[in-house]
Amino acid sequence: MTQSLTIARPDDWHLHLRDGAMMQAVLPETARHFGRGIIMPNLVPPVVTGAQAAAYRERILAALPEGMTFDPQMVLYLTEDTDPEDVAAAHASGLVKAVKLYPAGATTNSASGVQNFDNVRPVLEKMAEIGLHLCVHGEVTNHDVDIFDREAVFIDRILDPIRKATPELRVIMEHITTKDGVDYAKSGGDNLGATITTHHLIINRNHILAGGIKPHYYCLPVAKREKHRLALRAAATSGDKTFFLGTDSAPHTDENKLLPCGCAGCFTATNTMALLAHVFEEEDALDKLEGFASKHGPAFYGLPVNDSTITLTKSDTATTFPEKIKSADGPVTVFDPGFPVFWDVT
C-alpha cells in the first residue's frame, strides 16, 4: 500500500554547509528538498562581518548545481568585537537574517565566540531595536558543569538574564535537547522560538554509548536521556508554532569523526524529510509535519512559506539511503536511524 503526503517545501533553520569541496558535496543534499536554510557561520575563519557574509553567500550560490534552487539565509557570527553598526547595515541591506551566539569553546569552531556576555550587550540592544533575530547555541562551557546539564544551566545563567534585559529581542533556542529547553521555550512568549533536529527526535544517550561508542551519533548539544527525547518528540509533533525544524546537519569526514578526539556533528541532510515522516507517523501526527518543517519557521522569521511543494511517499519496501556522501575531502557518513524507514521524498 502506498501512502503519500504533499507539503509546502520545507526550510532548514539551522544548517552547516561548510565551504570549498565539502560544501560542493553537501549542498545538493539539502537543496534537493529544502527551499531555504539558515547558514551557520562557524567557518575557519568565522563569518563575522557583512562583507564576509556577502562573499560566503556568493560562494554558496556558485556551488549550487544547475537546475537546483536554494536561498541561503545568511548569519553573522557574534564576537565580543562585533560592531553594532556593521550588523545593522548587513540587516538593512537584506543580506543577513540572524546573528549567532556561540559561547566560546562550546562547539566546532567556536573559539571566537562570547566569553563575557556583557561585552555583546550593545549588539543585542541594536538587534532588538532593528528586529534582527539572535540564534543561540545554548550550552555553558564551564568545566565544572556536567555536559548533560549544560543546556539547563545555560537557560538559567545566561539566556534568561539576556531575555529579561532585552525582552524585545527575538531569540531562537537552537537544537534544544532537553525537557527544560522545551518548557522554557513554551513559556517564552512570541519573541522566543526553538529549533529541534531530526536526530534528537531519534536518539538518546544510550544510542551513543551503550554497546560500544558510536562516533556518528556524537553531536553537540549531546543527546540526553530518553525522557528528554520524548519531550522533544511531543513538542515537535504538537503543532505549537514555537517549535520548528533546524537539522543542524553538520558534515565532517569519517577521518575526522573516527579519531581519539572526534568531531561533533550528525549529517542528516540526505534523509531528514523521510526520517521526520517516520517519526511523525509514529506519533500519529503526520498532519503536523508541514507546520514543523515548512510553516512555523517562516512565521517566526517573518518570511513567506515556500510556494512550491514536496511529496513524501510511503511504500512497502524500506528506502535505501546512501551510506556515505563522497567529497574531495573524504567520505561523510549519512545519519543511520538504526531502523528501516519506508518513507521517501518522491
Q: Which residues bind ligand DOR (CB under 6 A)?
A: 16, 42, 107-108, 137, 219-220, 248, 250, 264-265
Q: How far is the CB of 164 from ligand DOR (least distance, A)?
A: 25
Residue 227's H or E segment, with its range, is helix 226-236
Which residue of the chain is nearest ligand DOR when measured via CB?
Answer: 219
Window contacting Zn ion (CB under 5 A); options: 17-25, 80-88, 109-117, 240-248: 240-248
Which is nearer to ligand DOR, 247 or 306 (by Cβ)? 247
What is the 8-class DSSP label of residue 217?
G
Q: Which of 248, 281, 290, 344 binds Zn ion (CB under 5 A)?
A: 248
- Cα torsion through 296, 294, 71, 171, rounded to 10: 20
118-123: long-range contacts, CB 8 A cutoff, minimum separation 24: 119/80, 120/78, 120/80, 120/82, 121/165, 122/84, 123/78, 123/82, 123/84, 123/87, 123/99
Confirm if 312 and 344 have CB atoms less than 8 A apart.
yes
Residue with Cβ nearer ligand DOR (16 or 216): 16
Give the residue with the Cβ less far from Zn ion, 220 or 277: 220
Which range, of 80-88, 248-256, 284-292, 328-336, touches Zn ion by CB under 5 A?
Answer: 248-256
Whose Cβ is closer to ligand DOR: residue 16's or residue 295's?
16
Q: Does 11 bind Zn ion (CB under 5 A)?
A: no
151 binds Zn ion (CB under 5 A): no
Q: Does residue 290 interact with Zn ion by CB under 5 A?
A: no
Q: Cα 42 from chain centroid? A: 13
Report, in this order, helix, strand and coil percent for the chain, each rounded to 5: 35, 15, 45
Nearer to ligand DOR, 106 or 132 (CB): 106
CB of 276 to Zn ion, least distance (A): 18
Running DSSP on this structure, what letter comes out for residue 118?
G
The answer to whether 15 and 30 are in contact (CB under 8 A) is: yes
* Cα separation, 248 vs 251, whole angstroms: 9
Total length of the chain: 346
Q: Catalytic one among 11, 12, 248, 344?
A: 248
- The yes-or-no answer on residue 248 being catalytic is yes
199's contact among Zn ion, ligand DOR, none, with CB below 5 to 8 A by partner kind, is: none
CB 49 within 8 Å of CB 286: no
219 binds, among Zn ion, ligand DOR, none (CB under 5 to 8 A by kind): ligand DOR
Active site residues: 248
Residues that bind Zn ion (CB under 5 A): 248
